[in-house]
């Protein structure tokens, strides 16, 4: 495929998007970064779903909404309308008592910010940057063993860490770009 634009065509604008996980049982909405690839490699979704299980181990049911435009989501009214549509109207429930009760959460971002604050908001780096205990690992040990697969940690492929959602990640990326002569 050529990178040369077709004469008279308008450039396609790449819009920043995210995904929204809605658990019907917990009635929660969680923001997740976009993912392109095989579903069995969507480890962030697997980690996010792990807490949505009954005591019996049966998973909760829900929806995953993809390609939600970040620009539209930032508008409070648009967000409220979207949440109302997702929850299909009806009673406002606990939102009648507390307007923020049903606000969405970016779980990974919130957890990264807790870690960031626990490390006294470092500016250039962090002592446990990409440490093994910060790796986001889906709880698939039994299934991997059953299929004869190696552990997630030692398997080839991109690994995601809680650190990737931390403000320190920006400084680390800038430092890598400088070392590579990109900036």
- What would the pLDDT profile of 167-182 be if each residue is shown by its tens digit? 999 888 888 888 888 8
Mean pLDDT, residues 119-140 = 89
Task: State the pairing for strand pair 62-69/28-32.
Answer: unpaired
pLDDT band at 4 (very low <50, low <70, confident <90, very high): low
Residue 5 has pLDDT above 80, yes or no: no
Query: Quick check: helix, strand or coil at residue 67?
Result: strand
Closest among 96, 162, 175 to 129, alpha carbons compared? 162
Of the two residues 178 and 4, the one the predictor is more confident about is 178
The pLDDT tens digits of the residues spanning 51-110 come to: 999 988 899 999 999 998 999 899 988 888 888 888 775 455 556 556 665 566 678 888
pLDDT on residue 44: 92
Say which residues have a Cβ less than 8 Å from residue 87's Cβ, sequence separation at least 6: 22, 27, 102
169-13-164 Cα angle (round to 5) = 15
Segment holding 141, helix H or strand E: helix 141-146
User: Per the confidence metrics, is the pTM higher than 0.95?
Assistant: no
Of the two residues 11 and 37, the one the predictor is more confident about is 37
pLDDT on residue 82: 86
Residue 118 has pLDDT above 90, yes or no: yes
Q: For residue 92, what are its two tokens?
A: 């406002």
pLDDT on residue 64: 92
């Amino acid at each position: 495929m050529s990178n040369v634009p077709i004469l008279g065509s308008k450039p396609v604008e790449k819009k920043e998007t995210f995904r929204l996980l809605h658990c019907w049982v917990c009635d929660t909405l969680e923001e997740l970064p976009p993912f392109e690839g095989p579903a069995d490699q969507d480890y962030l979704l697997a980690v996010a779903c792990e807490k949505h299980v009954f005591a019996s181990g049966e998973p909760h049911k829900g929806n995953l909404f993809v390609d939600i435009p970040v620009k539209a989501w930032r508008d409070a009214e648009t967000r409220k309308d979207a949440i109302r549509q997702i929850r299909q109207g009806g009673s406002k429930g606990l939102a009648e008592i507390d307007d923020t009760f049903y606000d969405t959460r970016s779980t990974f971002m919130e957890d990264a910010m807790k870690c960031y604050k626990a490390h006294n908001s470092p500016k250039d780096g962090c002592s446990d940057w990409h440490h093994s205990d910060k790796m986001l690992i889906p709880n698939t040990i039994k299934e991997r063993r059953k299929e004869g697969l190696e552990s997630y940690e030692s398997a080839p492929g991109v690994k995601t860490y809680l650190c990737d959602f931390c403000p320190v990640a920006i400084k680390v990326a800038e430092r890598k770009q400088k070392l590579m002569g990109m900036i």
